[in-house]
Structure 1
Amino acid sequence: MSTTCLIGKPPVRRSIQQVFVLREDPGGSGELFVLLVDSVHHDGLTLPGGSAEQDELPHLAARRHLETQTGLVLPLRTILTVDYSPAADLPESLDFVYAGGVVTPRQAGAVRPHHPSQGIRALHWVPQPKLRRVMADDQYRRVEDAWDAWDHGAGLPLLVRGVPVPLG
């Protein structure tokens, strides 16, 4: 079967790749905190991430944005949630949230914005009970869904042409 496009002019749709990264409370409570970015492009805090470029593998786009925004380099293979955003002010998008896992205290301590020119004002580790106060509703719902999938061990492996993406 041919892989050529059968549509004369395919629709414009953005592909957003975000990463759900956790750390344990450094105070020892056992509570988990999620890594969020304060971006000049969004109201409220969001997960690290951004758009994939044309022909860029989605998990590599997520990894690129995570590294650029935070300094973390993590293997990304499992998708925790997919959020469809219809066209409104921007082109429609599919937002994929990858499981970044629980980072070590050393990794968490090294997190910092690497390129302020990327539009990141600050990075924050936020406990689950405080998420609603610091996030826009759509971002909050996306993170809550990802957190629920993480808690229940749910998630989908990313496939490229039917083959699971290797870890690493």
Structure 2
Amino acid sequence: MIPTPADPEAWNAHLAEGNAKQARKRVAADVLLRDALGRVLLVDPTYKPGWDLPGGMAEANEPPDVAVRRELREELGLDVELSGLLVVDWVAPHGPWDDQIAFIFDGGTLRGGETPRPHDRELSAARFVPLEQARELVNARMRLRLDAAAKALEAGRPVYLNDGSAAW
């Protein structure tokens, strides 16, 4: 017999059991930041090959927008106000990894003219590059998301991807 809310202790135990059996998703949160010339900020992580958008993985129970702002502060010393969501991508299992949900937020345009510098050992470099060059520097998965983010900026609405492909 399934407990009811009338017995809060049994009900919460029942819900906790269901929660423990449900899938948990890894969450990645990145940001599209541009300079006054419209170039895109890329970072060079030390823990994986190639260039990437700034951001990282959310911690347990951390909202994606909070995660990306935390990562920007930790890795680049930036406190950026996000101006919207550009991309949500469900990423299929690959290699040793289970599936994940990847977000790209709009960080707008950085003022001041200087390129942020890495503040921790997770990044070896950061630089602004034209969008076409950024597409060449990031891996294939990120290239699909970056293209979708550029389209989302033009269209003024977020894009949902299913493993890098437009879902509709």
TM bucket, shorter chain = 0.7 to 0.9
Q: TM-score, normalised by structure 1?
A: 0.78
Aligned partner of 1:24 in structure 2 is: 36
Which entry has the higher C-alpha Rg, 1 or 2?
2
Secondary structure in 1 matching 2:68: helix
Aligned partner of 2:134 in structure 1 is: 131
Aligned partner of 2:117 in structure 1 is: 112
**Alignment check: 8 A CA contact 2:42 2:134 kept:** no
**Pairwise CA distance, 1:152:** 2.2
Aligned partner of 1:63 in structure 2 is: 69
Secondary structure in 2 matching 1:12: coil
**Pairwise CA distance, 1:77:** 5.2
Q: 1:13 aligned to 25, 36, 40, which one?
A: 25
Aligned partner of 1:36 in structure 2 is: 42
d(CA) in 1 for partners of 2:133, 2:64: 29
Matches within 5 A, 1:59-98: 59-76=65-82, 78-89=84-95, 90-98=97-105
Unaligned runs of 5+ in 2: 6-10, 160-168
d(CA) in 1 for partners of 2:90, 2:77: 28
**Pairwise CA distance, 1:110:** 5.6
Aligned partner of 2:165 in structure 1 is: none
**Pairwise CA distance, 1:54:** 1.2
Cα deviation code 1:38-82 (max 9, x no counterpart):
012333211111111112222111101112222221122521001
**Alignment check: 8 A CA contact 1:86 1:93 kept:** yes
What is the CA RMSD across the aligned residues, in angstroms? 2.2
Q: TM-score, normalised by structure 2?
A: 0.78
**Alignment check: 8 A CA contact 1:17 1:61 kept:** yes
d(CA) in 2 for partners of 1:132, 1:77: 22
d(CA) in 1 for partners of 2:85, 2:109: 15
d(CA) in 2 for partners of 1:135, 1:98: 17
**Pairwise CA distance, 1:151:** 2.1
Aligned partner of 1:100 in structure 2 is: 107
2:26 aligned partner, one-letter code: R
**Pairwise CA distance, 1:132:** 2.8
**Pairwise CA distance, 1:93:** 0.7
Matches within 5 A, 1:134-149: 134-149=137-152
